[in-house]
Structure 1
Amino acid sequence: MLARSAVGARLTGYNTWLTGPREAGHVDGPEEFHLVIVDNGRF
C-alpha cells in the first residue's frame, strides 16, 4: 500500500529488498547479480 497522501509526502517511497547471487552449494537463486542505479536528476 502506497498511501503518500496519508503522511503528506510529495512522492511515494518504495522499499525493495535485494539479495546477491546464490552461495556455493545452493541450487536456488541467480548465478549473477547486477545492480543498476539511475538518478535522472530527480534528487
Structure 2
Amino acid sequence: MIKEITAHELNPETFIKERVKEVQEAVGDGTAINALSG
C-alpha cells in the first residue's frame, strides 16, 4: 500500500524503524537485496 507522508508528519527515526521491521518480517532468515536509483 502506498501512503503519502508529508514533511510535517515524518519522524525519520520512527519511519526507519518501521520499514526495517517490515523488511525483517518479510525476509525472515533470508537475504534481502535493495537497489536504489536516482
What TM-score bracket applies, with the shorter chain setting the length?
A: under 0.3
TM normalised by structure 1 equals 0.26
Larger Rg: 1
How does the TM-score come out when normalised to structure 2? 0.28
Of Structure 1 and Structure 2, the greater helix share is in 2
